[in-house]
Amino acid sequence: MAKRVLVSDPLSQQGIEVLEQAGLDVDVKTGLCEDELAAIIGEYEGLVIRSQTQVTARVIAAAKKLKVIGRAGVGVDNVDLEAATEHGIVVLNAPSGNTISTAEHTMAMLLALARNIPQAHLSMQEGRWERKKYTGVELNNKVLGIIGLGRVGSEVAVRAHAFGMKILAYDPYLAEERAEELGICLANIDEILKTSDFITVHTPLTPKTRNLIGKAEFARMKNQVRIVNCARGGIIDYEALAQAVKEGKVAGAAIDVYEQEPPVDLPLRGLPQVILTPHLGASTEEAQINVAIDVARELVRALEGKTFKNAVNMTPLREELLSQLEPYLDLSKKLGSMAAQLSRGGIASVEVTYSGELAELEIAPLTTALLQGILSLPYGEEVNMVNAGYLAKKRGIKVKESRAESPEDYTNLISVTTHSAKGSHQLAGSLFAPREVRIVQVEGYHVDVIPQGHFLVINHHDRPGVIGEVGTLLGQRGINIATMQVGREELGGDAVMILSIDSVLTEDILAEIGRIKDIKSVRTVNI
């Protein structure tokens, strides 16, 4: 049966065709309120939106089948990311499809602001000739402060250079080498505020960037500064901006985005120094097609279980990285599952060490897979690579990662130690061949176990006859032993016995085994 996808905002037909050509059952239902969306979202595996649809926690709670939300555009502030992550739903966007469109609109706003073009146009339309009134300023040799130098900010910088502007930029994630390539001087926000003739913002809207520029920031700016926002409403405090314009501190502003769209009671409305456009940054024919195709392709890949880009609530895996990590992801997940089943009591912390060739790879996805395995027992199937880290944090599980040199006996090794109020447990796994997963240590004892099926893990004192008594008891109860591994440090000391069995044991049988002399603990593991 074909998977179903709901398109709840207007989307270019080219994007819809990508979905349909992939064999998906596509419904286009736009203009839905929260109640209407919540009532039907449970029928769909995928959801494609733009900026109008509000994907609230209530909607996500009703989305029992939903695997992927695709935003045809950049900003995802209309999606409750925390709720989506908690429910294991991937949220994708299309960050590059409208990059050029938004950068060009930003430049158009800068030019219109500098030369008073909308105001002069209106004056002419009304029959007036007011050349002196609308004398503007040049961009050449002016300082442009760019806050946020991602895709759009970088493209704005390239175009501003062509106008002879001097560029200061703030972006804590931008490497100095990249800044040099773009001909940009990196600066802190305070430097930008104090020295810029024009300021444009290109950051996402987050708790840290909300009201990034407010009353205090306007007070530190140069007199007659000009402000542009084609990023997100809420980054600039528009009440404070309106006041700064009225006081003459800010010579003008050009605004394309608003906290509420369409805006209500906008304080900037009616100010002749302010240019307002109705969120036109991505409104070109080319951008509409590009973002629709981009998000549709990625949504298809996600629903097909293939690698995808541009996930905003998880670390996406590049194709080349996935080919390296894929077998280790399986190993990590199985180690996590086994660790959870061996542990007594709720796990409080996890220590994981990557050794050998693994120490040279990107380990974050492996740790996520490990946590997925650990949490699958209490949470069930809804735990995946999207929400594993979130759920671990929610449960208060502390995670410590480390890298080590190549172990003596293995080319690669993942060692895991779990800690709970009732003690600590250790195990380790390795990859013997491209896809031969092995558990090679349990509680510090060396073993060689293929982690698949039903297991008995028995800690015992190493004396003659213990293994035989366990085997006899299981035989009497009709339980077949497929394989057996025994690990010990010394003759007559403590040891671990791992039995692969063909069926799940009852609590009564486990209790019988536990009563055998010199057996210290009995646990079952199902993988």
Q: Which of 87, 105, 226, 279 is catalytic?
A: 279
Both tokens of 500, joined, read: 């692969």
Both tokens of 356, joined, read: 């050998």
* Alpha helices (H) along 22-146: 34-40, 57-62, 81-86, 99-115, 117-125
Helix (H) or strand (E) holding 145, with range, is strand 143-147
Q: Evaluate whether 410 touches 440 at the Cβ level (below 8 Å).
A: yes
Helix (H) or strand (E) holding 497, with range, is strand 494-501
Strands 274-276 and 398-404: unpaired
Distance CA 193, CA 190 (A): 5
Both tokens of 155, joined, read: 């493209």
Give burial (CB, 10 Å; 0-12/13-18/19+) of 308: buried
Distance CA 34, CA 52 (A): 11
Strand partners, 353: 402, 415
Q: Evaluate whether 355 touches 403 at the Cβ level (below 8 Å).
A: yes
Both tokens of 492, joined, read: 């007559």
- List, in order, residues 6 or more apart from 408 with CB less than 8 Å away: none
Distance CA 426, CA 424 (A): 7
Q: Which of 36, 82, 180, 261 is catalytic?
A: 261
- List, in order, residues 6 or more apart from 402 with CB less than 8 Å away: 351, 352, 353, 354
Q: Which of 50, 105, 232, 438 is catalytic?
A: 232
Q: Evaluate whether 498 touches 449 at the Cβ level (below 8 Å).
A: yes
Distance CA 302, CA 24 (A): 12
232 noted as active-site residue: yes
Find the Cα–Cα–Cα–Cα dihedral 481, 452, 363, 73, rounded to 10°.
-160
Distance CA 305, CA 227 (A): 44
Give burial (CB, 10 Å; 0-12/13-18/19+) of 222: middle
Distance CA 501, CA 496 (A): 16
Distance CA 102, CA 399 (A): 40
Q: Which residues are catalytic?
A: 232, 261, 279
